[in-house]
Amino acid sequence: MNHNMTASSEIAQRIAELRDTINQHNYRYYVLDQPTVSDARYDALMQALQALEQEHPDLVTSDSPTQRVGAQPSEAFASVTHLVPMRSLSNAFSEAEVTAFNRRVREGLQRAELLAGDAAVEYLAEYKFDGLAVSLRYEQGRLVQAATRGDGETGEDITHNVRTIASIPLRLRGNAPDTLEVRGEVVMLRSDFARLNERYARQGERLFVNPRNAAAGSLRQLDPQITAQRPLRFFAFDWGRWSEEDALQTQAQGLQALADLGLPVNPNHVVVSGVQGLLAFYDAAGQARAALDYDIDGVVYKVNDLAAQQALGYISRAPRFSLAHKYPAQEETTRLLDIEVQVGRTGAITPVARLEPVFVGGVTVTNATLHNEDEIRRKDLMIGDTVVVRRAGDVIPEVVAPVMAERPESARAFVMPTQCPVCGSAIERPQGEAIARCTGGLFCAAQRKQMLWHAASRKALDIDGLGDKLIAQLVDSGRLQSMADLFTLTAEELRHYERLGEKSANNLVAAIDQARQPSLARFLYALGIRHVGETTARALAEAFSSLDAVMQASPEELLTIDDVGPVVAESIHQFFSEAHNREVIAETLAAGLRIQRPTAPESAAPAASLAGQTFVLTGTLPHWTRDQAREKILAAGGRVTGSVSGKTSYVVAGEAAGSKLSRAEALGVTVIDEAQLRALLGE
């Protein structure tokens, strides 16, 4: 028995040594770009490890290099809620916009007393990759989840696919934090893309259009075995949740810390000063762009100091401290075959250009929105024109202008229809507005389809499996007349619709059941009220105690909310004044929907006890998480911000408090612990 135990221990040690050696070689090859062994030697090491693990399956671990592929194909991607939202960036296309960005940053930091006089702002400048943004979550140093960006709040679970990407470590190096949410971009190198298409051409398979589409398509394969055959790379460029973030002072330090943990960080980033430094980096990156082995569509600027980032904060879904500076879009010419109109969720009539197919900016473009009738007149577009087509920001197709010298005699002007092409209702253009609208409301099948698709979307009720094609079938058959009808669908009837088998129908009904208890914010967003986006819906939910309170609010009461102006207030009031809308809400609630009302904790102090006071949380509290502490402060009427300034009332400091504590002491802000916070809350 002792001999067997000794042999087993030796095998386990050999397996551990092989894993460590292979991980070291992966790190040198994919992160440092400094391989030290031949491919043959690397393959021999991997084969030795695979053989030992096959003989001793009880010693296989999830972070072994052999476990890059192994999951069974999935039927669909599950939803993942990001620990910290993945924000989008504001875009700039000119030097003037970059100069304005720098001015706004300077003014914001001066107001926060973080920048003095004529001192220049220090920025981190880096490449903006043209790939697919993903988020990786590590717990205790192990990769436990990967997700697409999605809508910023939730994305698709692509963990099994990401595990096949060799440049992404399954286990972090060194002293890994308890929790780390890494943000980065999955790309395909141009050289790898060329070899992949050559292989597909030999096999007679369909070729990819460009490296970005190849990368995105590879990550969204339901079978990770297919993803594993695609040569994908990953570059880390930021982080969301980092349990030891307080130890960092700057963005540059954060990138170095990610690299020290074994994550691949692109070396083409520098710290620069002021707007001149930003523009110099932009020009240098533009000159180097053609020689790179990966695609970039611009550069990104971030205020380097993390405390300054927190002070600047966010506007809507974009950070005030960061900017994407895009390179000029690519342009081509083609023929404008026709202009048709589409009907949106709110009845908006949008003209759409039907184009002779043209390859521009890496994709074939056949359609482009023309926004509204005034835009067509302003650009002097006529059906039959040869037009310039641009992919604005390398993403959105745009008809720029007609080529007047090539206008044919047969060219004809666009005439906005007077009747909806879907329901025949009158099209009207309200005075003072640029958008014409169908007056059919929910009588119009097009509006009903868009409204229901919006209601089922991830930001709203999040009904997985209820896509636009199925909604179209259900509306066209007369089964769906309003949101309430969603909650009366049965698996038995759904099985009769195209592409829905028994399992898919059961899964959809289960998803509908899961959506029966939305938060008030999600339900308000799902209603599709004009001008009410996700941010405004959250503001309404936080300001009012219930759906009834929102429905009964006057325009004057609505105007007291920071995110609501006169136009939005009137839109909300009109929506809930409409008898039909109230009827749909009542029917939806009668069908089993139960809206989760935001409630204050039982132990919270009276709502006005912390009114007007601003708190900053830092470090690890002994009994509460930061989120729990934040909820209690908000429930008691206080404010919680992410940065310390002279206007901060209290800094709540726990164990391992970092730069925020130092900042508070420098400014003379009162510092308290969890026990003192409990006392303020009356606990």
Is residue 206 one of the residues assigned to a domain? yes
Query: Does residue 83 fall inside a structural domain?
Result: no
How is residue 20 written in tokens?
């460590």
CA dihedral 563, 567, 573, 577 (to 10 degrees): -150
The CATH number that applies at residue 627 is 3.40.50.10190
Among 128, 449, 632, 660, the active-site one is 128
| 405 and 541 co-located in one domain | no
Q: Yes or no: say if 393 and 91 are a contact pair by the CB < 8 Å rule.
A: yes
529, 539 in Cβ contact below 8 A?
A: no
Strand 91-92 relative to strand 322-326, pairing? parallel
User: Model confidence over 46-84: pLDDT tens digits?
Assistant: 778 878 877 877 877 777 777 665 555 555 678 888 888
What is the value of pTM for the model shown? 0.58
Looking up residue 105, the CATH number of its domain turns out to be 3.30.470.30
- Token pair recorded at residue 206: 């369909």
Same domain, residue pair 124 and 198: yes
**End position of a domain, from candidates 419, 451, 469:** 419
Strands 318-319 and 314-315: antiparallel
Looking at the fold, whether 216 and 310 belong to one and the same domain comes out as: yes
CATH number at residue 491: 1.10.150.20
Q: Take residue 409 and report the two structure tokens written for it.
A: 């005699």
For this structure, is 469 an active site residue? Answer: no
Domain boundary residue among 278, 293, 326?
326
Is the backbone of residue 176 left (phi > 0), alpha (psi -120 to 50) or beta? beta
| Alpha-carbon separation of residue 75 from 78, 503, 508 (angstroms) | 10, 10, 13
Asked if residue 148 and residue 295 are part of one domain, the reply reads: yes
Structure tokens at 550: 């929102």
pLDDT tens track for 401-449: 899 999 999 999 999 999 999 888 889 888 888 889 988 876 788 888 8
* Co-location of 203 and 294 in the same domain: yes
Range scoring the smallest mean pLDDT among 61-75, 124-138, 193-207, 371-385: 61-75
Q: Which amino acid is at 141?
A: G
Are residues 669 and 540 both part of a single domain? no
Query: Are 167 and 143 within 8 A, CB to CB?
Result: no
Number of domains in the chain: 6
Greatest mean pLDDT among 352-356, 580-584, 619-623 lies in: 352-356
Q: Are residues 582 and 633 in the same domain?
A: no
d(CA 565, CA 552) in angstroms, rounded, equals: 17
Quote the CA–CA distance of 315 and 312 in Å, as a whole number: 9
Taking CA 317 as the corner, what is the angle to CA 614 and CA 350, rounded to the nearest 5 degrees? 140
Q: Is residue 271 part of a domain?
A: yes
For residues 166 and 144, state if they share a domain: yes
pLDDT at 98: 96
- Provide mean pLDDT across the span 536-556: 86
Tokens at 243, concatenated: 């349990």
CATH classification at residue 33: 1.10.287.610
Average pLDDT over residues 123-140: 94
Domain shared by 121 and 7, yes or no: no
In a domain, 602, yes or no: no
Give the residue from 326, 346, 378 where a domain finishes.
326
Q: Are residues 374 and 464 both part of a single domain?
A: no
Domain assignment present for residue 95? The answer is: no
Residue 91 lies in a domain: no
Dihedral sign for Cα 489, 491, 496, 502, please: positive
Whether residue 87 lies inside any domain: the answer is no
In the chain, % helix, strand, coil (3-state, to 5) comes to: 40, 20, 40
Q: What is the CATH number of the domain that holds 378?
A: 2.40.50.140
pLDDT of residue 269: 96
B/e letters for 420-429, b = 16+ CB within 10 Å, e = fewer, are bebbebebee
- Domain of residue 662, residue span: 614-680
State residue 2's pLDDT score.
52
**What are the structure tokens assigned to 432, written together?**
């003072």
- Residues 393, 355 within the same domain: yes
How big is the CA angle at 324 (ends 129 and 534), to the nearest 5 degrees? 105
Residue holding tokens 């802000």? 669
320 and 192 within one domain: yes
Q: What phi, psi does 550 have (nearest 5°)?
A: -65, -45
- Comparing C-alpha atoms, which of 114, 115, 167, 119 is closest to residue 143? 167
pLDDT tens digits, one per residue of 156-185: 899 999 999 989 999 999 889 999 999 999
**Does residue 631 carry a pLDDT above 90?**
no
Q: Is residue 92, in this structure, part of any structural domain at all?
A: no
